[in-house]
Amino acid sequence: MASDKQDKQFVTEITPQSEDFSRWYIDVIKKAELMDYAPVRGCIVFRPEGYAIWENIQQEMDRRFKETGHRNAYFPMLIPESFFQKEKEHIEGFNPELPFVTEAGGDILEERLAVRPTSETMFGHMYSKWIKSYRDLPVLINQWANVMRWEKRTMPFLRTSEFLWQEGHTAHEDEKDAREETMRMLELYRDFVEDFLAMPVVMGQKTPSEKFAGAVDTYSIEAMMKDGKAVQAGTSHYMGTNFAKAFEIQYLNRDNELEFTHTTSWGTSTRLIGSMIMAHGDDRGLVIPPKVAPTQVILIPIGPPKMRDMVIERADALYAELKAAGIRVNMDDRADVRPGWKFNEYEMRGVPVRIEIGPRDIENGVCLLASRLGGDKLTVQLDNVVNEVKQLLDDVQKGMYERALEFRASHFHSVDNLDEMRAQMEEKRGFFLAGWCGSEACEETVRAETGATSRNIPFDPQEHKSTCVACGEAAKHTVVFAKAY
Amino acid sequence: MASDKQDKQFVTEITPQSEDFSRWYIDVIKKAELMDYAPVRGCIVFRPEGYAIWENIQQEMDRRFKETGHRNAYFPMLIPESFFQKEKEHIEGFNPELPFVTEAGGDILEERLAVRPTSETMFGHMYSKWIKSYRDLPVLINQWANVMRWEKRTMPFLRTSEFLWQEGHTAHEDEKDAREETMRMLELYRDFVEDFLAMPVVMGQKTPSEKFAGAVDTYSIEAMMKDGKAVQAGTSHYMGTNFAKAFEIQYLNRDNELEFTHTTSWGTSTRLIGSMIMAHGDDRGLVIPPKVAPTQVILIPIGPPKMRDMVIERADALYAELKAAGIRVNMDDRADVRPGWKFNEYEMRGVPVRIEIGPRDIENGVCLLASRLGGDKLTVQLDNVVNEVKQLLDDVQKGMYERALEFRASHFHSVDNLDEMRAQMEEKRGFFLAGWCGSEACEETVRAETGATSRNIPFDPQEHKSTCVACGEAAKHTVVFAKAY
Ligand SMILES: [Zn+2]
Ligand SMILES: [Zn+2]
């Protein structure tokens, strides 16, 4: 497709994944202008090309939240330090990462105000004012917001000091209702990530040492990156009455008795952007699933200068037709850039489908479709082009999911003891399924010896392991271990 | 419609506008659950009913931004203090209102980080890295974000320590292009506020003392509240090369010479919610324009208990039909609440159209429509209900704009000197058109003597005044003065 020389130009600018995966990642997101580093430690700018991915994620996820009865709200970003003290585990978990506003309007504040790392405490405080009776329940509120966690090690999109996310906070009459909500939102996340971002995930429960600070139970979905590492793509927490007790969220039940509500929270963030990139990208650059791609189709008119006007005129009509059909299409009709260079550029940017159209094609009433997944170009009839493009976008979406599923299957290993696990991890990347006796010490041994942490206890593991990978005692759980971002 | 007793119940909970307009405002937004006070000074919680208004504003405005070639991005919230020092007027304007993060992750920061009050400096810093050549221009980026200004006096939605807004920041080759953008966005705001929020505005230029800190020229749209006070509903600034020089945003022009870009910025915020409420509300509560109303139609089934199932069944079908037609409809079929109480409740919440349907109506193939603007109920055929409802929503939208326009006309006064202005302001509320010589001292005299500030110099005043209202010298400008939120 592209000349060797042009290929080389791109190749030298993007580090191959096999050489240095992190370098590849940074090269790609910088070159595709998804982000830039900001002049504040650990912060990035979400540039328009990157932010547009987030907007698509937001729009679709928000639709699903509302379909399941949730409403959006906005709570203050600054949280009095004393609020964090009310739930002991919560402050222990978040204290090391809190930025504090201590001065405002020229005055030193009497109480330090934390920039929210998450908003259980602020929601808890307000819910205690709003909830009086079982008639007020459930309360199902979500918030789209910025949050800050002063991280030691950062990685664009995956771990930044400030990031964007949504956090749902719900209050319920009893445990059953709250646990149902916890699972409903975990399942919503699973379906969204697999369907929309084409990333297969492992759904399961976090071990106690990895659960959210203040939760009774934490559940997660874990996705595999192309370097075999895991990314926690979403979490859902059942809080029991922990936060209700800390913030006195009480209600009169159906028997007119005062009771604590049961609460949940659940969140996903802009790290979905980073994980989507690491799960699908290749040495030519980004590969973005059609459903989330800001540009789904790039249209490139081709031909000698003397035919240019004629070709552009037909391409304009084609562009309008695709746009009218709801397809996110862009046209690149720059005269001073060669087609081969454009092909490389939009491949690097991860645009799922490319259309080429030239004088000969127009004569024959056709155009060419190329998929970002590779393979032969398709010659399609211009009078059926909308259907053909929609079909190809569907195929790419499905193909990306299948490819990611195959990759995961071939990087999912089963191990019986630490020696085996260490040996395998020297040779192989990926997820390691292992038995676990349930002791925190054994989890820590695995981490210290291999660098892998427990990702979750999958609801539906490929096999059930019978002995603990660390101590050899009987396994209580089968756990996915992996290195993680 | 409602019984006297029920009327009184609502009336006692909402202070009449004529008695105390600010109290009326607080009563209404609390009772309608648009907001609640937060446990941080000057901050509020945007509750779902209030936030849904913001979502509708965002969605429509965002559509218009994109239509005019803008893209969204997200820039860091924390801005190094030194950035503010780079533009002298800018720091003088914003310094008194800045909250600072001084500690994070357990450490005292080397440099204080301001929570953004606006982001010219951060955009400027990044633009200087991205813009190299005239080929990169114009840059047209908008951001939806939270910002903070540590205000001394606060008022929910209108002036809060933290608020939500959009800020556009653009960079251009020359003054002409930048000034065109400044006016394009001001006009976009005018059309949005008049068309969508049904609020007529005065479009004009701010006097030097009222312009944005760091701008060459500031333009605004000013809306009139029902107490006659003004709210600045949106601003658009031409920055000249002030920020380009402060942040070294330079580019190679078409002659290959290094030049400074010309920049603009423009913004609107959640104060649009507050001004919409104050411009339209009445003693019965909120009156929300249909285009922005989260609930456009409330459907209330009526009838004796034995007919209830039959009525609800027909109402369900009606609900589904309206929803399918894209109308934001809710149904209140609570059996234990009387219809009269519901009527009052949804009037208080400002729902533009109410539908009542009972057994006799169903027999006759009709239902009743009531408008929040009052007047007779309409009896409409069920088989034409979608068209009738759409028509009535249009009528309410137009009627609200007309009503606001008439209110403004009857509260727009013309004055020639300070004595006259003082006398009129003791009797009348509203906007005061007056001549101004252009001296800051005269502006200050007006403020000190009357409490009114210069709102703007309208592009198209009803009349041109010839002498300065304060000093009697020849007027350079005709200015709108008013008390303002
Ligand atoms: Zn063990
Ligand atoms: Zn004067």
Residue range A384-438, pLDDT digits in tens: 999 999 999 999 999 999 999 999 999 999 999 999 999 999 999 999 999 999 9
Going from the Cα of B475 to the center of ligand 2, the distance in angstroms, rounded, reads: 7
Model confidence at B9, pLDDT cuts 50, 70, 90, reads: low
The pLDDT value given to residue A337: 93
B430 torsion bin: left (phi>0), alpha (psi -120 to 50), beta (else): left
Compute the average pLDDT of residues A471-483: 98
The rounded distance, in Å, linking the Cα atoms of B341 and B4 is: 11
Quick check: B74 and A126 CB within 8 A? Answer: no
How far away is chain A from the Cα of B63, in angstroms, using its nearest Cα? 13
Residue A363 phi/psi, 5-degree rounding, is -55, -40
Residue pair B296/B327 in contact by the 8 Å Cβ criterion: yes
Quick check: A54 and B74 CB within 8 A? Answer: yes
Residue of B36, B44, B75 lying closest to A129 (CB–CB): B36
Indicate whether B6 pLDDT > 80: no
Going from the Cα of A46 to the center of ligand 1, the distance in angstroms, rounded, reads: 43
Give the up-direction half-sphere exposure of residue B25: CA atoms within 13 A in the CB hemisphere: 19
Partners of residue B105 in chain A, C-beta under 8 Å: 96-99, 150, 152
Indicate whether B5 pLDDT > 60: no
Spell out the residues 6+ positions from residue A469 whose beta carbon is closer than 8 angstroms to its own: A415, A416, A417, A418, A421, A434, A435, A436, A442, A446, A481
When the pLDDT of each residue in chain A is averaged and rounded to a whole number, the result is: 96
Going from the Cα of B209 to the center of ligand 2, the distance in angstroms, rounded, reads: 14
Which of B74, B91, B159 should we substitute to test contact with A (largest number of A Cβ atoms within 10 Å)? Answer: B74
Model confidence at A5, pLDDT cuts 50, 70, 90, reads: low
Going from the Cα of B217 to the center of ligand 2, the distance in angstroms, rounded, reads: 21
The pLDDT value given to residue B151: 87
Burial B445-475 (b: 16+ CB within 10 A, else e): bbbeebebbbbbbbeebeeebebbbbbeeeb
The pLDDT value given to residue B2: 41
Which of B54, B58, B75, B136 should we substitute to test contact with A (largest number of A Cβ atoms within 10 Å)? Answer: B75
What confidence tens digit (pLDDT) does each residue in A351-383 have? 999 999 999 999 999 999 999 999 899 999 999
Please tell me if residue A55 touches chain B, with a CB cutoff of 8 Å: yes
Indicate whether B11 pLDDT > 70: no
Kindly give the pairing relationship between strand A412-414 and strand A431-436. Answer: parallel
Q: For residue A150, what is the nearest residue in chain B, using CA coordinates?
A: B105
Model confidence at B375, pLDDT cuts 50, 70, 90, reads: confident
Residue pair A81/A100 in contact by the 8 Å Cβ criterion: yes
Strand order in the sheet with A353-357: A329-331, A297-301, A353-357, A366-371, A378-381
Which of B34, B40, B82 should we substitute to test contact with A (largest number of A Cβ atoms within 10 Å)? Answer: B40
A335 torsion bin: left (phi>0), alpha (psi -120 to 50), beta (else): alpha
What confidence tens digit (pLDDT) does each residue in A205-250 have? 999 999 999 999 999 999 999 999 999 999 999 999 999 999 999 9
Q: Is the peptide bond before A138 cis (omega within 30 degrees of 0)?
A: yes
The pLDDT value given to residue A9: 57
The pLDDT value given to residue A10: 55
Kindly give the pairing relationship between strand A297-301 and strand A353-357. Answer: parallel
Please tell me if residue A39 touches chain B, with a CB cutoff of 8 Å: yes
Rg (CA), chain B: 25
Model confidence at B152, pLDDT cuts 50, 70, 90, reads: confident
Model confidence at B90, pLDDT cuts 50, 70, 90, reads: confident
How far away is chain A from the Cα of B244, in angstroms, using its nearest Cα? 18
Ligand having the closest approach to the CA of B446: 2
Ligand having the closest approach to the CA of B434: 2
Compute the average pLDDT of residues A71-92: 94
Quick check: A73 and B100 CB within 8 A? Answer: no
Ligand having the closest approach to the CA of A473: 1
The residue written with tokens 């409403």 in the block is A71
Here the tokens at position B331 are 């149904």
**pLDDT exceeding 90 applies to what percent of chain B?**
94
The pLDDT value given to residue A1: 39
Partners of residue A78 in chain B, C-beta under 8 Å: 40, 43, 99, 148, 162
The pLDDT value given to residue A369: 98
**Within 10 Å of residue B381's Cβ, how many Cβ atoms?**
12
Please tell me if residue A144 touches chain B, with a CB cutoff of 8 Å: no
The pLDDT value given to residue A13: 84
DSSP characters over B261-281: -EEEEEEEETHHHHHHHHHH-
The rounded distance, in Å, linking the Cα atoms of A275 and A224 is: 8
Compute the average pLDDT of residues A299-318: 96
The pLDDT value given to residue B435: 98
Quick check: A99 and B105 CB within 8 A? Answer: yes
Q: Which of residues 151-180 of B touch A (CB under 8 A)?
A: 152, 162, 164
Residue of B43, B105, B148 lying closest to A97 (CB–CB): B105
The pLDDT value given to residue A138: 98
The pLDDT value given to residue A375: 86
The pLDDT value given to residue A12: 62
Going from the Cα of B186 to the center of ligand 2, the distance in angstroms, rounded, reads: 28
Quick check: B39 and A73 CB within 8 A? Answer: no
Quick check: A72 and B51 CB within 8 A? Answer: yes
Indicate whether B187 pLDDT > 50: yes
∠ Cα B168 B173 B177 (to 5°): 65
Q: For residue A72, what is the nearest residue in chain B, using CA coordinates?
A: B48
A304 torsion bin: left (phi>0), alpha (psi -120 to 50), beta (else): beta
The pLDDT value given to residue B3: 47
Which of B35, B101, B116, B119 should we substitute to test contact with A (largest number of A Cβ atoms within 10 Å)? Answer: B101
Partners of residue A95 in chain B, C-beta under 8 Å: 106
Indicate whether B309 pLDDT > 60: yes
**Within 10 Å of residue A89's Cβ, how many Cβ atoms?**
13
Going from the Cα of B440 to the center of ligand 2, the distance in angstroms, rounded, reads: 8
First-to-last C-alpha distance (Å) of chain B: 35
Ligand having the closest approach to the CA of B445: 2
Model confidence at A79, pLDDT cuts 50, 70, 90, reads: very high
Indicate whether A11 pLDDT > 70: no
Give the up-direction half-sphere exposure of residue B460: CA atoms within 13 A in the CB hemisphere: 4
What confidence tens digit (pLDDT) does each residue in B339-350 have? 999 999 999 999
Please tell me if residue A334 touches chain B, with a CB cutoff of 8 Å: no
Which of B78, B98, B154 should we substitute to test contact with A (largest number of A Cβ atoms within 10 Å)? Answer: B78
The helix or strand, by DSSP H or E, that contains position A478, with its residue range, turns out to be strand A477-482
Q: Which of residues 67-96 of A touch B (CB under 8 A)?
A: 71-80, 83, 95-96
The pLDDT value given to residue A6: 52
The helix or strand, by DSSP H or E, that contains position B219, with its residue range, turns out to be strand B217-224
Going from the Cα of B389 to the center of ligand 1, the distance in angstroms, rounded, reads: 67
Ligand having the closest approach to the CA of B470: 2
Partners of residue A46 in chain B, C-beta under 8 Å: 73-75
The residue written with tokens 């800390």 in the block is A246
**Within 10 Å of residue B409's Cβ, how many Cβ atoms?**
12
How far away is chain A from the Cα of B41, in angstroms, using its nearest Cα? 10
Partners of residue A72 in chain B, C-beta under 8 Å: 48, 51-52, 55
The helix or strand, by DSSP H or E, that contains position B165, with its residue range, turns out to be strand B162-172
Indicate whether B399 pLDDT > 70: yes
The sign of the CA dihedral B339, B340, B345, B347 is positive
How far away is chain A from the Cα of B404, in angstroms, using its nearest Cα? 29
Quick check: B48 and A73 CB within 8 A? Answer: yes
**pLDDT exceeding 90 applies to what percent of chain A?**
94
Quick check: B76 and A47 CB within 8 A? Answer: no
Partners of residue B46 in chain A, C-beta under 8 Å: 73-75
Answering whether pTM is above 0.90, one says yes
The pLDDT value given to residue A3: 47
The rounded distance, in Å, linking the Cα atoms of A293 and A49 is: 10
Q: For residue A36, what is the nearest residue in chain B, using CA coordinates?
A: B126
Which of A30, A62, A78 should we substitute to test contact with B (largest number of B Cβ atoms within 10 Å)? Answer: A78
∠ Cα B376 B377 B380 (to 5°): 135
Going from the Cα of A200 to the center of ligand 1, the distance in angstroms, rounded, reads: 29
| DSSP 8-state assignment for residue B131 | -
Residue pair B44/B156 in contact by the 8 Å Cβ criterion: yes
Q: Which of residues 94-123 of A touch B (CB under 8 A)?
A: 95-106, 112-113, 115, 122
DSSP characters over A126-193: HHHHH--BGGG--EEEEEEEEEE---SS-BTTTB-SEEEEEEEEEEESSHHHHHHHHHHHHHHHHHHH
Residue B238 phi/psi, 5-degree rounding, is -100, 120
Model confidence at A52, pLDDT cuts 50, 70, 90, reads: very high
The pLDDT value given to residue A2: 41
Residue of A48, A125, A130 lying closest to B141 (CB–CB): A48
Quick check: A77 and B104 CB within 8 A? Answer: no
Bridge partners (DSSP) of residue B262 are B172
The rounded distance, in Å, linking the Cα atoms of B77 and A276 is: 25
Compute the average pLDDT of residues B225-249: 98
What confidence tens digit (pLDDT) does each residue in B281-304 have? 999 999 999 999 999 999 999 999
The rounded distance, in Å, linking the Cα atoms of B418 and B414 is: 12
The pLDDT value given to residue B10: 55
The rounded distance, in Å, linking the Cα atoms of B221 and B236 is: 9
How many A×B Cβ pairs under 8 Å? 149
Compute the average pLDDT of residues A292-307: 96
What confidence tens digit (pLDDT) does each residue in A181-202 have? 999 999 999 999 999 999 999 9
Q: What value of ipTM does the predicted structure carry?
A: 0.96
